[in-house]
Amino acid sequence: MSDASGEVRTTCPYCGVGCGVIATRAADGSVAVRGDPQHPANFGRLCSKGSALAETLDLDGRLLFPEVGGQRVSWEVALDAVATGLRDTLTAHGPEAVALYVSGQLLTEDYYVANKLVKGFIGTANIDTNSRLCMSSSVAGHKRAFGTDTVPGSYEDLEAADLIVLVGSNLAWCHPVLYQRILAARAARNGRPRLVVIDPRRTASCDQADQHLAIAPGTDSILFDGLLVHLHRQDCIDLDYVEAHTEGYLAALRAARAHAGSVPDVARACGLPGEAVAEFFAAFARTAKVVTVYSQGVNQSSCGTDKVNAILNCHLASGRIGKPGMGPFSVTGQPNAMGGREVGGLANQLAAHMDFAADDVARVQRFWAAPVIAERPGLKAVDMFRAVAEGRIKAIWVIGTNPVVSLPDADAVRAALHACPLVIVSDAVADTDTVACAHIRLPAATWGEKDGTVTNSERCISRQRAFLPLPGAAQPDWWILCEVARRLGFGAAFDYAGPAGIFAEHAALSAFENDPAGRVRDFDIGACAGLDAPAYDALTPFRWPQPAGGAGIGRFFAEGGFYTGDNRARFVALGPRAPVYAPDAAYPLVLNTGRVRDHWHTLTRTGKSARLSAHAPEPYAEIHPLDAALFGIVDDALVRVSSRWGEAVVRAKLAREQRPGSVFVPMHWGSPQASRGRIDAVVNPATDPHSGQPESKHTPVRIAPW
Ligand code: SF4
């Protein structure tokens, strides 16, 4: 939607806050970017990354033309090579030998087409996304408790709360505009909401906090089980809500009491002072309006799903869900992690929040008129690349992501790709560790050049609009996927004129064969099923669900209505589960990976901005001064961080904010920017059994001068 001034309303391509951006292109081609005052996520605010977007639009380093075997070719030749390679693999080895690994950077329309092609036409569910690394434990936790992957609340609840519990999230750096909204609310409401941060590290999010609990890594579910017991003892259980809308409370309480029966027990297990635990429990118990915000520190764990359910148990038990200022709130890392969940971008989902239940499989097959359909979940990210290494997957198409930098045990991922008979990579960037492994390279359009929609952490769907011409031969991902589908003989089902038609089809599927009793599905955007191109172009941000002819729902579950067979939420009885790999004499420290304030993912965009790069110009290891003294590390020197899986060389930063026994290293750097700084080569590949999310916050390592 471009107005007379040439301003285009779009959304930021970085984090899951999903801020609205206004881009203006001048006659000389230069672009200016500012926050969109009308967008409900940010009301005009932008963080340092969003503000610097205009500095990242040059074509340096772009992949601009298709390549096969390292030679520049036409699109016809490249697409024929992709289709021939996939067809030959399917003929010789069947659909399970093919996989797609995609990205939370994709727009919903790209995601929808990729999922439809793989699950409905190739006939395998081997499509997974880097969102697996970001929030799949939240998805699994939501499904266990609510029956669906539904975020109950909205950003307004964070401003209306009287207490925000921030767990495993450096919101100040990773979701800055949301953090700014909280600070603005505190300024306007005399310090409300109060802020408790639960994180092994003292991060920037602690600067304004009323309390910081520097919890021992991996013990969050013990803390929240202890909270459940405390709420019970203090008579803070909402018995009316529990009896009317839930199942399994007593079993969950019994399980919690077995290992988190008293404040001293909890404090000991979590490595916290007893008074601090008691203070946090008392604050939660006496405050009605509590929002618990959680992110990768909870999700990226081999017991991430249990941690999520420990949090949900407390909110269900106290009835603090779905009401203004109350509820559990998972913030997603990526700009369209949520959109990917909606179309079935995860290997264990189908489409439109449907899964592999027989009814859903049949419904989706009817809607797509699909010749085949995947009937069971496919391989999740870590298992997918393991299958590549073992030769079970013989053709993989990586779209818009850089797994040789971002997946755990990243050296093994690189070796797997080098051994794979067919590696296709679609990317906007020419020089990444993953593109270097590709036999076929396809130039993809990127932010500012492509059109579609994204969904942010509060279920708000917004348009991302193009304001730049397609450079070189670059094309949008949906177009590339449709051209391959056409060559595989599926042209009629992929005959889209543009993203508007794809979005309308996606919306129609969300309402297809709705419950005859009239119950709206959680993800129902049937109101958009008939959108034509002009209406799609003019689409303003809206929160799902938006059923045809009906009103949306602002918040879910205040009056129950869960998407389980009996409409009742499920408490989950939990036991303590330690991280898979414990520190020992050889690897005595715990590595925790994460992000820095001014960079995003593997630096392919933020690395272009000098002012963003100035904040953290190179990879580093933050280590407590006492640990540094123990291991002979001096500030600012290069150090080798090594584990059983690999090693990286980074700069040491002595920081008292770091919990003794832990090391923090950011995950952004790959070989092109820092030849030895690829920290995911060090990270262990253990995953959560429910979600498949890797344990990126807990790898035993040692550290030594380089
Ligand atoms: Fe972009 Fe996130 Fe910053 Fe908003 S908070 S401007 S979405 S990076």
pLDDT, tens digit, for every residue of 164-185?
A: 999 999 999 999 999 999 999 9
Report residue 21: phi and psi, to 5°.
-130, 140
- Joined together, the tokens standing for residue 155 give 């950003």
Beta bridge partners of 56: none
Element (H, E) at 701: strand 699-705
167 CA distance to ligand 1 centroid (A)? Answer: 20
What integer pLDDT is reported at residue 213 of this predicted model?
A: 98
Burial of 261 per CB tally in 10 Å (0-12, 13-18, 19+): middle
What integer pLDDT is reported at residue 2 of this predicted model?
A: 56
Domain 7-56 grouped into CATH 3.40.190.80: no
> Would you say the CB of residue 600 lies under 6 angstroms from ligand 1?
no
CA distance 513 to 495: 23
> Is pLDDT of 3 > 80?
no
> Is pLDDT of 558 > 90?
yes
- Whats the size of the chain, residue-wise? 706
pLDDT, tens digit, for every residue of 78-121?
A: 999 999 999 999 999 999 999 999 999 999 999 999 999 999 99
Ligand 1 pocket test target in 43, 47, 598 with most atoms within 8 Å of CB: 47
175 CA: nearest ligand 1 atom: 5
Segment 555-584 shows an average pLDDT of 96
Segment 441-463 shows an average pLDDT of 97
Segment 262-269 shows an average pLDDT of 96
Segment 677-705 shows an average pLDDT of 97
> Is pLDDT of 561 > 70?
yes
CA distance 217 to 533: 49
> Is pLDDT of 296 > 90?
yes
Segment 350-377 shows an average pLDDT of 96
pTM of the model as a whole: 0.97
> Would you say the CB of residue 601 lies under 6 angstroms from ligand 1?
no
> Would you say the CB of residue 49 lies under 6 angstroms from ligand 1?
yes
How do 647-654 and 638-642 pair as beta strands? antiparallel
> Is pLDDT of 388 > 60?
yes
Confidence class for position 551, pLDDT limits 50, 70, 90: confident
45 and 39 Cβ atoms separated by less than 8 Å: no
Which residue has better confidence, 342 or 520? 342
> Would you say the CB of residue 460 lies under 6 angstroms from ligand 1?
no
644 CA distance to ligand 1 centroid (A)? Answer: 36
Domain 589-705 - what CATH class?
Answer: mainly beta
SS3 readout for 185-197: HHHHCCCCCEEEE
334 CA distance to ligand 1 centroid (A)? Answer: 10
> Is pLDDT of 354 > 90?
yes
166 CA distance to ligand 1 centroid (A)? Answer: 18
Confidence class for position 552, pLDDT limits 50, 70, 90: confident
> Is pLDDT of 521 > 90?
no
Segment 432-443 shows an average pLDDT of 98
**Architecture of the domain delimited by 67-134+336-505:** 3-Layer(aba) Sandwich (3.40)
What integer pLDDT is reported at residue 143 of this predicted model?
A: 97
- Joined together, the tokens standing for residue 327 give 């509820």
Segment 132-148 shows an average pLDDT of 96
Ligand 1 pocket test target in 10, 19, 105, 331 with most atoms within 8 Å of CB: 19
Ordered by start, the domain boundaries in the chain are: 7-56, 67-134+336-505, 136-331, 589-705
What integer pLDDT is reported at residue 303 of this predicted model?
A: 97
446 CA distance to ligand 1 centroid (A)? Answer: 17
What integer pLDDT is reported at residue 679 of this predicted model?
A: 96
> Is pLDDT of 697 > 90?
yes
Ligand 1 pocket test target in 10, 11, 14 with most atoms within 8 Å of CB: 14
Lowest mean pLDDT among 137-151, 215-229, 253-267, 336-350: 336-350
What integer pLDDT is reported at residue 82 of this predicted model?
A: 98
Confidence class for position 128, pLDDT limits 50, 70, 90: very high
Query: From atom 3 of ligand 1, which residue's Cα is the shortest distance away?
Result: 47
What integer pLDDT is reported at residue 373 of this predicted model?
A: 97
CA distance 429 to 62: 5
CATH of region 136-331: 3.40.228.10
> Is pLDDT of 330 > 90?
yes
Q: Can you spell out the DSSP letters for 240-258? A: HHHHHHEE-HHHHHHHHHH
What integer best gives the mean pLDDT of the chain?
96
> Is pLDDT of 205 > 70?
yes
510 CA distance to ligand 1 centroid (A)? Answer: 28
> Is pLDDT of 221 > 90?
yes
Lowest mean pLDDT among 279-283, 455-459, 507-511, 574-578: 574-578
> Would you say the CB of residue 41 lies under 6 angstroms from ligand 1?
no
Beta bridge partners of 67: 72, 441
Ligand 1 pocket test target in 22, 158, 175 with most atoms within 8 Å of CB: 175
31 CA distance to ligand 1 centroid (A)? Answer: 18
> Would you say the CB of residue 692 lies under 6 angstroms from ligand 1?
no
> Is pLDDT of 591 > 60?
yes
Burial of 180 per CB tally in 10 Å (0-12, 13-18, 19+): middle
What integer pLDDT is reported at residue 556 of this predicted model?
A: 96
113 CA distance to ligand 1 centroid (A)? Answer: 26
What integer pLDDT is reported at residue 122 of this predicted model?
A: 98
What integer pLDDT is reported at residue 658 of this predicted model?
A: 96
Query: From atom 4 of ligand 1, which residue's Cα is the shortest distance away?
Result: 19
CA distance 298 to 162: 22
Query: From atom 2 of ligand 1, which residue's Cα is the shortest distance away?
Result: 15
